[in-house]
Amino acid sequence: MTTTIEKPVAPKPKVVARGHLADAVPDAFRKLHPRHQLRNPVMFVVWVGSLLVTVFAISDPRVFTAAVAVWLWFTVLFANLAEAVAEGRGKAQADSLRRTKTDAVARLLDGDVLPGAELKIGDLVVVEAGEVIPGDGDVVEGIATVDESAITGESAPVIRESGGDRCAVTGGTTVLSDRIVVRITTKPGESFVDRMIALVEGAERQKTPNEVALTILLSTLTIIFLLAVVALQPFAIYSGGEQSVVVLTALLVCLIPTTIGALLSAIGIAGMDRLVQRNVLAMSGKAVEAAGDIDTLLLDKTGTITWGNRRATEFVPVDGASHDELVAAARLASLADGTPEGRSILDLTGGQPATEHEKTGDFVPFAAQTRMSGIDLGDRRIRKGAASAFTLTAQAREVVDEISEQGGTPLVVAENDVVLGVIRLSDVVKPGMKARFAELRAMGIRTVMVTGDNPLTAKAIAAEAGVDDFLAEAKPEDKMALIREEQEGGRLVAMTGDGTNDAPALAQSDVGVAMNTGTSAAKEAGNMVDLDSDPTKLIEIVQIGKQLLITRGALTTFSVANDLAKYFAILPAMFAAIYPQLGLLNIMGLATPQSAILSAVIFNALIIVVLIPLALKGVRYTPSSASALLRRNLLIYGLGGIVTPFVGIWLIDLLVRLIPGIG
Amino acid sequence: MSPTAAGLVQVGILVVALAVVHRPLGDHMARVYSATKHSKLELAIYRLGRVDPDAGQKWSIYAFGVLGFSFVSVVVLYVLQRIQSVLPFDFGRGDVPPGMSFNTAISFVTNTNWQSYVPETVMGHTVQMAGLTVQNFVSAAVGMAVAVALVRGFLRHQSDRLGNFWVDLVRGVVRILLPISFVFAIVLIALGVTMSLKSGVHVDGQLVATAPVASQEAVKELGTNGGGILNANSAHPFENPNAWSNLVEIFLLLVIPVSLTRTFGTLVGNKKQGYVLLSVMGLIWSAMLAVIWVAEANGLRPLEGKELRFGVPGSAIFANSTTSTSTGAINSLHDSFTGLGGGGTLLNMLFGEMTPGGAGTGLYSILVMAIIAMFLAGLMVGRTPEYLGKKLGREEVTAAAVSILAMPTVLLIFAGVAAVLPSTGAALNNPGSHGLSEILYAYASASNNNGSAFAGITVTNDWFQSSLGVCMAFGRFLPIVAVLALAGSLAAQKKVPVTAGTLPTTGPLFATLLAGTIVLVAALTFVPALALGPIAEALL
């Protein structure tokens, strides 16, 4: 078996595609509306400043004033552009989703026909091969193959059947074969696809808790700088160097945290978008943020940590039988065994297909009474089955017990009632899991494996997989109790689930990722849905949550650190006339006061554009300890934030000084 | 011994003394504020005030207690001054004028101890002892109580109680400030500080004013008050006769803010949490001392404005400590310092008085700054920010922001107005950048409840009396209310367990981050104003 767990192949579109940019520009202008600007206190101040300077530029036209006005407007526009580009990426996805919302006609069970948009919760509709399912619901009758590619992008059809955990169907998907009766579970307009569209468009985007707190901090900084700049005028008047409103506005805009202010909402939208690109739908931004805070991860053993089925891993001959004898017998006994276990035995024997002679044998299927299956080939009666189905010798008993103790399942092989040996079936941990759990540990996340196995088996697999803890013989209530217990201790818990049984636990957990193959109850209870139904994706989700917060923090630090250089550019420009010694602070050697101020303003605007790709992509995140992360980000965004503007403003000044009337 | 060597020895003695004392004192304070038993004296006080000492208070009630107590204190202090002429030991100095009484009352209640009066000619001994000295005790105890309430916010989980303000206040006075002040008053008398109820003594045929100095001197420093009973403050030989008394006074004004970091560490159950705050305080204190010392030693006239008894090092250590602790006592004239040296004392205040800050105020101010620092740091490690097991969300950041905004807001607004008022020109001794430094210093001193005067500025006109009074009140009480609200929202939270993903707040990384935040916030806020004052002076 060479399969390894692949990280979900995230489509890697260019961060800012040309098409998006073209679409975003008109949006950027539309967002100049004051109602939109008011939502962002930092950019609103810039907006008011731009208006103010424009008035001055019109009433008293000068090159400097006009240039400052233009670049202040650019600052606002660039912020709008960042948001528009982020939204644009979602819009493309929304459009393709919207196409699935054809006006499907619903055929009710009682024969009435009505438009899909008029369905009510509880209606029973009939869908046959070739028809589009008119709304979200559960299959209550029948079994069908359904093409869900419109939503998941996965072209292989899936089976949906009444009862059990595979009964949920999504409106807009197509039935390929057979006939099902669906009970509608959501109102039109609130369906899964509707919610997806709203989410990827960012239409219902609400500020997340951390975003609100950060906005308060940014507003505080803005107030501080407003005070500092407003109070500067009387001090300047006292000192005999009154400043123009244009210069003071320029100083204010340069100081307030416009960089992060401009990119904040783009970062949030892009974070959601990164999840969507990985085929995960978060029902709220809050859930994405919570993902970054997860302390405990509950992972189902089967399908997540181990392959879904037990696999043969070893042949143990007993009572003098040779290894080859046992392997040969095991192979014969499994030739006709279509179960995954049976195939795994064949794989372990080398996987040679049956010869013509062997095909003449009589296959004995597994029966509940005999608890064994096998083949009668001539006078050979070869059987494999549960240990309790055979009369075991002392040695065989010993081997069987040992395998059981180690968490495996023993399968006894016998020929003509003589036991040849035992096949060890065990859970096979997916490769790479240990490394991933180590990563999680480095991030401070505790992993708990949840399994229905007995404690012995669970312990063995937990040790092999490298999880921190396990919950054995777990019933749904136990899972719930574990989540509550963790939460009592102040820890945030994430889990995945697909069954209706899982719904309460999904609802209770802080981050509950429902598998798209799961029931509507599970999908309703969780706050995320994984369209690929890949439980290991929880790990990716945690990383995206963290990356989102880190991007905000890093750009805030960068934004504030930038102010140092701006002081060095603008203060000497303002006051070297009255205190020539302040000219010493002009360490960048900027040409004139006008060129210095304008260069700072231009840098302040351009840095927004430069950082848009970073805001959309998120800063690089490698799982490591909190201290290592902080050290790295302080170095890059703190120190980098101090140095970059010195270079940037100096370079811009080299060009700006060439403008007549400025240089 | 050269003056530099002597100065270094003094710093050495000071640091060793603080290192030795801060542990037992810090632990003592931790016990004081967490003890469950009341002494007989305390119980008598509670009965008198009809206080149930075992009833916990919500943050709002606690804040109401602080504000109510302070308001009554202001009224009492105002009335005492206004009726001085009928009180004993007034020496015919008469009633204190209304504007001056108002300013002084606020000044002493807010632990600022800004003095717009000349004590020898204005205040009699009764107002000094029954009014001002009482406030020296209780205003310090109020600051310490608020700090402890904030620490309880970290300690308590899913609780809406922060302890009892009256109990914290009484214990602070009875169990901490009074005993230490008593001991050190005697120490100071032994070192030559005056203690007399006479109005003055005849020296060489000249009447030299005197007062019960030693008893007030000890608490003046210990409670980071700073209001001198004599106008020349600690530059006066009766208040501060020699190098040893100078050192004792510096020790006293640093000892509570420094020891409170230990109290903090002990209370939160991790002494390293206290050490890291102390290390940040110590780092900035040392750096600023170096700046002031070097600037003064290399000034054009190094001894200008300094007492020859203390010289440059003794003055620099005192000036640095008094401005970094919100004490505001002086043993030299900061106005006469060099641009850089004087700017250093100003900057010490603009840091927001947390290096190590005032009694209690220093601890809560640096904790607020730590919350801001941890908020950004938390984001940068990809988790909802937390500090000491509490999440820093909307409410916490808002409270911290209000607490930080108060001081620069009143300072910049009122200093800005003062700069352009026509009457200001007459009040200033110096024009130009030094004059602006004088204005900035006065408002920084009031807004940060420091109380030291740059001098060189006459602050007796109605504008200064009232605007500085407002600065003192807002600079004191707005942060206190915000800090208590912060404590309330912290206490209401569950505890966030420490995991491998938690950012440690004990190592050098956190210390660097915190120190950087303190310096950056002050620099970003005040650099434009400073550019026209001390920076323009220093670059000349």
Q: What are the tens digits of pLDDT across the range B375-397?
A: 999 999 988 899 999 999 999 99
- What is the rounded distance in angstroms from the CA atom of residue A455 to the CA atom of residue A45? 62
Detail the residues of A annotated as belonging to a binding site for Mg(2+).
498, 502
Tell me: pLDDT of B40 over 80. yes
The answer to whether residue A7 is domain-embedded is: no
For chain B, what is the domain count? 1
- Per DSSP, helices labelled H in A526-590 are 537-561, 563-575
Q: Which residue of A has its CA nearest to B431?
A: A239
| B520 interfacial to chain A (CB closer than 8 Å) | yes
| A300 counts as catalytic | yes
Q: Which residue of B has its CA nearest to A576?
A: B536
Please count the helices (runs of H) and the strands (runs of E) in chain A. Answer: 24, 22
Q: Where in the sequence is the domain holding A169, given as residue range(s)?
A: 120-187
Q: Where in the sequence is the domain holding B369, given as residue range(s)?
A: 363-539
The answer to whether residue B528 is domain-embedded is: yes
Q: What is the pLDDT of residues B218-275, one digit of tens each?
A: 999 999 999 989 988 999 999 999 999 999 999 999 999 999 999 999 999 999 999 9
DSSP class of residue B493 equals S
Cα distances (Å, whole numbers) of residue B230 to B62, B107, B119, B182, B197:
35, 16, 6, 20, 13
Return residues 400-419 of B near A (CB < 8 Å). Answer: 401, 404-405, 408-409, 412-413, 415-417, 419
The answer to whether residue B99 is domain-embedded is: no
A259 and A335 inside one domain: no
pLDDT at A102: 60
Enumerate residues 6+ apart whose C-beta is below 8 A from A28: A77, A78, A80, A81, A84
- What is the rounded distance in angstroms from the CA atom of residue B424 to the CA atom of residue B378? 46
A649 and A562 inside one domain: yes
Chain B: give the shortest CA distance to residue A613, in Å: 18
Is B415 in contact with A239 (Cβ distance < 8 A)? no
Q: Which residue of A has its CA nearest to B418?
A: A234
Task: Read off the pLDDT band of A179 (50, 70, 90).
Answer: confident
Chain A: give the shortest CA distance to residue B392, in Å: 8
Q: Answer with the one of A510, A531, A552 that is the final residue of a domain.
A: A531
| B24 interfacial to chain A (CB closer than 8 Å) | no
Q: What is the pLDDT of residues A139-155, one digit of tens each?
A: 888 888 888 877 776 67
Is A629 in contact with B381 (Cβ distance < 8 A)? yes
The answer to whether residue A95 is domain-embedded is: no
| B529 interfacial to chain A (CB closer than 8 Å) | yes
Q: In this structure, are residues A407 and A432 in contact, taking their beta carbons and an 8 Å threshold?
A: no
| B498 interfacial to chain A (CB closer than 8 Å) | no
Share of chain A above pLDDT 90, in %: 35
| B339 interfacial to chain A (CB closer than 8 Å) | no
Is B380 in contact with A634 (Cβ distance < 8 A)? yes
- What is the rounded distance in angstroms from the CA atom of residue A582 to the CA atom of residue A631? 34
Detail the residues of A annotated as belonging to a binding site for ATP.
337, 341, 366-373, 384
Q: Which residues of A touch B398 (CB under 8 A)?
A: 216
Q: What is the pLDDT of residues A44-62, one digit of tens each?
A: 999 999 999 999 999 989 9
- Across the interface, of A232, A490, A633, the residue whose CB is closest to B528 is A232
CATH number, domain containing residue A445 = 3.40.50.1000
Is A232 in contact with B529 (Cβ distance < 8 A)? yes
A249 and A384 inside one domain: no
A241 and A165 inside one domain: no
ipTM: 0.93
pLDDT at A19: 61
CATH number, domain containing residue A328 = 3.40.1110.10
Cα distances (Å, whole numbers) of residue A237 to A191, A569, A653, B436:
63, 21, 28, 11
A553 and A646 inside one domain: yes
Place of tokens 């181990």: A306
DSSP class of residue A154 equals -
pLDDT at A187: 81
- Across the interface, of B384, B416, B533, the residue whose CB is closest to A210 is B384
Tell me: pLDDT of A16 over 70. no
Q: Which of A300, A453, A534, A653 is catalytic?
A: A300
Is A489 in contact with B497 (Cβ distance < 8 A)? yes
The answer to whether residue A45 is domain-embedded is: yes
A527 and A574 inside one domain: no
Mean pLDDT (chain A) is: 86
A405 and A443 inside one domain: no
A284 and A375 inside one domain: no
A135 and A167 inside one domain: yes
The answer to whether residue A514 is domain-embedded is: yes
Tell me: pLDDT of A100 over 80. no
DSSP class of residue A445 equals -
Tell me: pLDDT of A6 over 50. no
Q: Answer with the one of A501, A531, A561 that is the final residue of a domain.
A: A531
Mean pLDDT (whole number) for A16-35: 81
Share of chain A above pLDDT 70, in %: 95
Of A273-287, B41-55, B512-526, least confident by mean pLDDT is: A273-287
Is A216 in contact with B397 (Cβ distance < 8 A)? yes
A500 and A579 inside one domain: no
Q: In this structure, are residues B225 and B139 in contact, taking their beta carbons and an 8 Å threshold?
A: yes
Is A444 in contact with B394 (Cβ distance < 8 A)? no
Mean pLDDT (whole number) for B35-43: 95
- Across the interface, of B381, B397, B495, the residue whose CB is closest to A213 is B397
Q: What is the pLDDT of residues A440-491, one digit of tens each?
A: 888 888 899 988 777 877 888 888 888 999 998 888 788 889 999 988 888 8
Overall pTM > 0.90: no
The answer to whether residue B515 is domain-embedded is: yes
For chain A, what is the domain count? 4
Pair type for strands A124-128 and A179-184: antiparallel
Q: Which residues of A touch B376 (CB under 8 A)?
A: 217, 553, 556-557
Task: Read off the pLDDT band of A13 (50, 70, 90).
Answer: very low
Q: In this structure, are residues B295 and B337 in contact, taking their beta carbons and an 8 Å threshold?
A: yes
- Across the interface, of A227, A552, A557, the residue whose CB is closest to B409 is A227
CATH number, domain containing residue A161 = 2.70.150.10
Higher-confidence position of A364 and B450: B450
pLDDT at A112: 84
The answer to whether residue B386 is domain-embedded is: yes
> Best of A222, A235, A579, A633 to disrupt the B interface by mutation (most B CBs within 10 Å)?
A235
Q: Which residues of B touch A212 (CB under 8 A)?
A: 394
Is A444 in contact with B500 (Cβ distance < 8 A)? yes
Mean pLDDT (whole number) for A633-657: 96
The answer to whether residue B191 is domain-embedded is: no
Q: What Rg value do the Cα atoms of chain B yield, rounded? A: 22
Is B420 in contact with A238 (Cβ distance < 8 A)? yes
A634 and A578 inside one domain: yes
The answer to whether residue B465 is domain-embedded is: yes
Q: Which residues of A touch B380 (CB under 8 A)?
A: 550, 553-554, 557, 629-630, 633-634, 637
Beta strands in B334-389 (DSSP E): 386-387
Mean pLDDT (whole number) for B179-200: 94
Retrieve residue A149's tokens: 């590619």
Q: Which residue of A has its CA nearest to B415?
A: A231
- What is the rounded distance in angstroms from the CA atom of residue A287 to the CA atom of residue A493? 11
Beta strands in B359-458 (DSSP E): 386-387, 390-391
Beta strands in B167-223 (DSSP E): 200-203, 206-209
Question: What is the sign of the dihedral through the CA atoms of B239, B242, B247 and B248?
Answer: negative
Q: In this structure, are residues B205 and B221 in contact, taking their beta carbons and an 8 Å threshold?
A: no
The answer to whether residue A538 is domain-embedded is: no
The answer to whether residue B90 is domain-embedded is: no
Q: Which residue of B has its CA nearest to A488?
A: B494
Q: What is the pLDDT of residues A245-276, one digit of tens each?
A: 999 999 999 999 999 999 998 998 888 888 88
The answer to whether residue B454 is domain-embedded is: yes
A314 and A422 inside one domain: yes
The answer to whether residue A230 is domain-embedded is: yes
Is B383 in contact with A209 (Cβ distance < 8 A)? no
Is A626 in contact with B501 (Cβ distance < 8 A)? yes
pLDDT at A12: 44
